[in-house]
Structure 1
Amino acid sequence: MSNIDVDDQHDDIVYPSALPFALIHLGCAAAFWSGITSQAIVIGIAIYWLRMFAIGAGYHRYFSHRSYSTSRLFQFILAALAQSSAQKSVLWWAAKHRHHHLHSDTHRDVHSPRHKGFAYSHVGWIFARKHDATDLVKVADLASFPELRWLHKFEVLPAVALAACCFLVAGWSGLVVGFLWSTVLLYHATFCINSLAHVHGRKRYVTGDDSRNNWLLALVTMGEGWHNNHHAYQSSVRQGFRWWEIDMTFYILKALSYLGIVWDLKAPPEQVRRNEHRLGARAINRAAEQLAKHFNPERIALAITSAMHASELSSLRGALNEAKCHIGDALTAVHLNRMPTRNELLGQAQAMFTRTRSLDEIVDRAYHLLLESVGSHLTASLQLRS
């Protein structure tokens, strides 16, 4: 059995790495014993927002996307603060997120609700054995810093240090209410970007995936909820593209830029903000695949063969055999009553996607993919009949 087969076979098993995560959740109930003090609540609120900023500004916008520049010292501070959220190391986080953008909502995405379900995309994927390793090739730019490799090696140290500080300042209530409660809230607010922001919300841009803008998530994550905006232009330091899209992480980074702590803040081009840009090849291909699949090529092929006489089937078989690798081109020369027209694909595309200048390119690509897929099904069906 291959290594891939082994991974797939055991992918649904919860490994011991899930135990600390479960214990942190269970530990929140210790508040019945420790009590809930006002000091602990203040600490919890403060470190929730501080660490949420570090996750959004650090893990995401800086380490994953390099949307601005900063000093080596502030880079380390951001990484240490983000790791105090107990969401694994900066190298692991950035590598997984870069992989996500390369394969967003495809079968290769590590946390797509479309393919693995909501619960798996929200939290389950973290504990799958095949996702435990860090692909250092994807973060070679970050791995070149020894201090970041040190943080990667001792990934729980910042979280343990923060927990100890909470205990020293406010006792057991500080540890339970201040640290554990805020950590659990951080977990699920962050994880909702992977799960909920690919299920609920509005799509302003065609991105070839299921990313959505969700104003409520944007509020609790300091701007990360403007997820469709982010997928439309990933290197932008600002994710709330419109003036009314509150993005606290960007506002803080803008203020820090005035102090010289960060600089070279990247902004989306005006064409992108106005949704007047042409899409890249990857987004066009993914959107086209979604459109083509909507028409169910297998069912179309079955309807075509069922409606044909023996002589027509023989002619079709001959045309497809001659076409070999150009099945789609062969079908364009054959009149097939049950084959959707390009105008039908265009109408469906207008219903499925938001406004984009690349709609015709998506439809043309989808029509080609549909012809190829229908042709493949027809070839297989006709071979069985011969």
Structure 2
Amino acid sequence: MVSPLPVSSATNRQQRLWAAVKAHREPLPAKQRRFKWGTTSFMLAMHVAATFALLPRFWSWQGLVAFAVLYWTTVLGVTLGLHRLVAHRSFVVPVWLERILVIMATLACQSGPIEWVALHRHHHRYSDQTNDHHDAGRGLWWAHSEWMLHEIPALDHMDRFAGDLLADPFFRWLDRWFLLLQIPLGLGLYWYGEVAQVHGGGLGLVLWAIPLRLVVVYHVTWFVNSATHAFGYRNFDSPDLSRNCWWVAVLSFGEGWHNNHHAYPSSARHGLRWFEFDITWQHVKALRRLGLARRVQQARYVSGAS
């Protein structure tokens, strides 16, 4: 049980945590300081392509709709599917629905589902400690995205943190071939853009729906690793730097209520106070009403509890 904190205590605790964390960070070993050029080149290419998508020649209402639909698909796939369902098993759904949600998440191109889940579970085990792969104590830029451009020692322990998924052929296949899912998506969008004579053509639709969408989803996800370990308030005295950040919660469908989540990782509900709106939790409740979600775990915030 993690106790709710008075505001003054939460602030003082956070200041002490920041001071302690920053005081005990040794430089990374030389091997880990080297860039992984495959990952770095891919991320650079996506950001360049996303910039081209914003050129007036590629603008269209159809492109905006494709972006919005796929943003909802991929963010919800990550938050509802990979995160709350698979990584934390905070509720149970039929296998066919779990598969659909994981495929939705995999369209976000945030590595394969086994690697994603293993790293997330590792983060919870060592949150803001020296072996946390996106340790906020090394700075916001490191926690935001730089960590993934280098060697990630935590991946050596995937069997320990995601052994349940490694035993599943479906997850193993997706983990290896997740990038291939962008090919039929891109071909379908390009075909529609050409046939419907969308302004910007098929290329415009592809640019809005794939690189621009991926880059926005990347940064929204990364803000959960960086901004919510630096900005916002704390409801609970969790032993890390996690905070609740409202604007990250809006962009990430409720993942920004990060201190709540670190206090109660197995809770399907992250927004615990009346004003902490949690879009993903609304989807969980809808699935429960439809009889598709069961054994839903839900933490509650009780003001003044000890």
Fold shared by both chains (TM-score > 0.5): yes
1:102 maps to 2:125: yes
Aligned to 1:8: 29
**Alignment partner of 1:137: what SS?**
helix
Q: Deviations over 1:78-115 (max 9, x none)?
A: 1111111110011001100101011111111111221x
Q: Distance in 1 between matches of 2:178 and 2:155?
A: 13
Aligned to 1:240: 271
1:153 maps to 2:176: yes
Q: Is the 8 A contact 1:219 1:225 kept in 2?
A: yes
Q: Distance in 2 between matches of 1:86 and 1:78?
A: 14
Deviation for aligned residue 1:163? 3.0
- Which of the residues 212, 217, 221 maps onto 2:248? 217
Could you say which structure has the greater relative contact order, defined with CA pairs below 8 angstroms and 6 or more residues apart? 2
Q: Amino acid of the residue matched to residue 302 of structure 2? A: R
Q: Distance in 2 between matches of 1:276 and 1:58?
A: 33
Q: Is the 8 A contact 1:113 1:121 kept in 2?
A: yes
Deviation for aligned residue 1:131? 4.5
1:50 maps to 2:50: no
1:192 maps to 2:247: no
1:130 maps to 2:152: yes
Where do 5+ consecutive residues of structure 1 fail to align?
A: 1-6, 278-356, 358-386
Q: Distance in 2 between matches of 1:131 and 1:22?
A: 23
1:1-386 alignment runs, 5 A limit: 8-16=29-37, 17-31=39-53, 32=55, 35-114=58-137, 116-131=138-153, 133=155, 135-170=158-193, 171-268=202-299, 270=300, 273-274=301-302, 357=306
Q: Distance in 1 between matches of 2:224 and 2:104?
A: 20
Q: Which has the larger radius of gyration?
A: 1
Q: Deviations over 1:300-351 (max 9, x none)?
A: xxxxxxxxxxxxxxxxxxxxxxxxxxxxxxxxxxxxxxxxxxxxxxxxxxxx
Q: Is the 8 A contact 2:133 2:152 kept in 1?
A: no
Q: Distance in 2 between matches of 1:83 and 1:175?
A: 17
Alpha-carbon distance change, 167 to 65 in structure 1, aligned in 2, over 3 angstroms: same
**Alignment partner of 1:263: what SS?**
coil
Q: Is the 8 A contact 1:34 1:172 kept in 2?
A: no
Alpha-carbon distance change, 40 to 117 in structure 1, aligned in 2, over 3 angstroms: same
Q: Is the 8 A contact 1:207 1:231 kept in 2?
A: yes
Q: Distance in 1 between matches of 2:59 and 2:213?
A: 13
Q: Distance in 2 between matches of 1:68 and 1:33?
A: 44
Aligned to 1:384: none
Q: Is the 8 A contact 2:119 2:154 kept in 1?
A: no
**Alignment partner of 2:114: what SS?**
helix
Deviation for aligned residue 1:47? 0.7
Q: Amino acid of the residue matched to residue 203 of structure 2? A: W
- The TM-score with structure 2 as length reference comes to 0.83
**Alignment partner of 1:209: what SS?**
coil
Q: Distance in 2 between matches of 1:205 and 1:161?
A: 45
Deviation for aligned residue 1:74? 1.2
**Alignment partner of 2:33: what SS?**
coil
Alpha-carbon distance change, 24 to 34 in structure 1, aligned in 2, over 3 angstroms: farther
Q: Distance in 2 between matches of 1:45 and 1:276?
A: 40
Deviation for aligned residue 1:261? 2.3
Q: Is the 8 A contact 1:215 1:225 kept in 2?
A: yes
Q: Distance in 2 between matches of 1:228 and 1:78?
A: 25
**Alignment partner of 1:212: what SS?**
coil
**Alignment partner of 2:152: what SS?**
helix
Q: Distance in 1 between matches of 2:57 and 2:176?
A: 33
Q: Is the 8 A contact 2:119 2:155 kept in 1?
A: no
Q: Distance in 2 between matches of 1:112 and 1:133?
A: 15
Q: Mean Cα displacement is larger for which, 251-260 or 124-133?
A: 124-133
Q: Deviations over 1:218-271 (max 9, x none)?
A: 111000000000011010000001122110111012111222222211111x4x
Where do 5+ consecutive residues of structure 2 fail to align?
A: 1-27, 194-201
Aligned to 1:375: none
